[in-house]
Amino acid sequence: MTEPLVRVENLTKHFPIRKGMLIERVVGAVQAVDSISFTIERGETLGMVGESGCGKTTAGRTLLGLYPATSGRTIIDGHSVHEARGSELMQVRRKAQMIFQDPYASLNPRWTVNSIVSEPLRVHKLLPNQKARNERVKELLELVGLNARHINRFPHEFSGGQRQRIGIARALASEPLFIVCDEPISALDVSIQAQVVNLLEKLQDQLGLTYLFVAHDLSMVRHICDRVAVMYLGIMVELAERDELYENPLHPYTKALLSAVPVPDPRKERERKRVILTGDVPSPINPPSGCRFHPRCPIAVERCKVDVPEWRELKPGHHVACHLAEN
Ligand code: SF4
């Protein structure tokens, strides 16, 4: 067995809450991500799903080193992301990239497409001169389905889908092995979403890329991902192969999420039973004791209020954090 490309070990990210005018004190912490662990094999797509605010975007940014980790670590292609310095850090940055949720906000409006896409080429000193960089930018634009003649246009001259393609071209410029796709389609029109997903799949086949695909659209995740991790209030509650997770969810939260996904077959759709979760997602500043899901869980028992559920492998490759889950 080869070593997974990405190994995340007990990764934790807490944002301190500070108070005080003259002397600042730390009075608490937003526990955005708490001790998550998983691996991603080379060429694999791991989906990460959960309601907004569950910590999936913070997890993606922290594991890439865009936020310092509170504890834990990420190893990408043998390099420890949070410990790397100097040339090793540059190498990690080159190998691991991010595609952002909002193509409108993630591109500098005052830069041409050429400047935007060639920036990683300049930073990583990948090509000897501007002429070579211009040629490479044109190749990258064509690779993502854009017209290379538009190299000197500005972001506002493109549609939303085209801007996301510019973001993808920029991510590809440093020839990465691994890309965190942070809700890459949620800001786009529904009609454009499938095109961008198809492009990501085509690039994965062509370039052998590995993805972490962060999303809340469970239908799209089923389409693109090999395995799926479910997050709730900063922790991972379930992880399994895609079909196993969709056909045999074990955690009550996953069951509730999946029960909300419409089924194409009208007969099955009529029979579909919705699990309605009551109450709001609790605050990550002071998460519930025991199982974090217990105030909303339809099958919670007394023990759930006190004991933190263990992360158990109930079937090969199918992990869950719930006292009552059984195979
Ligand atoms: Fe529900 Fe208890 Fe399982 Fe948590 S541990 S999901 S509260 S049954």
* Best of 231, 292, 294 for a ligand 1 pocket test (most atoms within 8 Å of beta carbon): 294
Does the C-beta of 65 come closer than 6 Å to ligand 1?
no
How much is the mean pLDDT over the chain?
94
Does the C-beta of 292 come closer than 6 Å to ligand 1?
no
pLDDT confidence of residue 266:
83
Structure tokens at 226: 């090999």
Does the C-beta of 294 come closer than 6 Å to ligand 1?
yes
pLDDT confidence of residue 128:
87
Q: Which residue has the higher pLDDT, 242 or 191?
A: 242
pLDDT confidence of residue 20:
84
pLDDT confidence of residue 276:
81
pLDDT confidence of residue 90:
93
pLDDT confidence of residue 104:
78
Are 103 and 167 contacting, i.e. CB atoms less than 8 angstroms apart?
Answer: yes
For residue 187, the SS3 value is: coil
Does the C-beta of 250 come closer than 6 Å to ligand 1?
no
Atom of ligand 1 nearest to the CA of 303: 2
String of DSSP letters for 122-152: HHTT-SSSHHHHHHHHHHHHHHTT--GGGTT
Outline where DSSP puts E strands in 45-194.
45-49, 71-76, 79-80, 96-99, 178-182
> CA 250 → CA 51, 247, 258, 269, 323, distances in Å?
18, 10, 11, 21, 11
- Among protein residues, the one whose CA lies closest to atom 8 of ligand 1: 300
pLDDT in tens, 192-204: 999 999 999 999 9
Distance 60 CA to ligand 1 centre (A): 26
Atom of ligand 1 nearest to the CA of 304: 2
Domain layout of the chain by residue ranges: 230-327
When pLDDT is cut at 50, 70 and 90, the band that residue 1 belongs to is low
Q: How many residues would you count in the chain?
A: 327
* Best of 238, 303, 304, 314 for a ligand 1 pocket test (most atoms within 8 Å of beta carbon): 304
Distance 297 CA to ligand 1 centre (A): 6
Does the C-beta of 237 come closer than 6 Å to ligand 1?
no
pLDDT in tens, 132-176: 999 999 999 999 999 999 999 999 999 999 999 999 999 999 999
Structure tokens at 97: 């990239």
Does the C-beta of 252 come closer than 6 Å to ligand 1?
yes
Question: Residue 85 burial (CB < 10 Å; 0-12/13-18/19+)?
Answer: exposed
pLDDT in tens, 209-226: 999 999 988 888 999 999
Does the C-beta of 324 come closer than 6 Å to ligand 1?
yes
pLDDT confidence of residue 81:
96
Facing residues of 70 across strands?
Answer: none
String of DSSP letters for 287-319: PPSSSTTGGG-TT--GGGGTSPPP-EEEETTEE
Share of the chain above pLDDT 90, in %: 82
Question: Residue 195 burial (CB < 10 Å; 0-12/13-18/19+)?
Answer: middle
Does the C-beta of 242 come closer than 6 Å to ligand 1?
no
pLDDT confidence of residue 285:
93
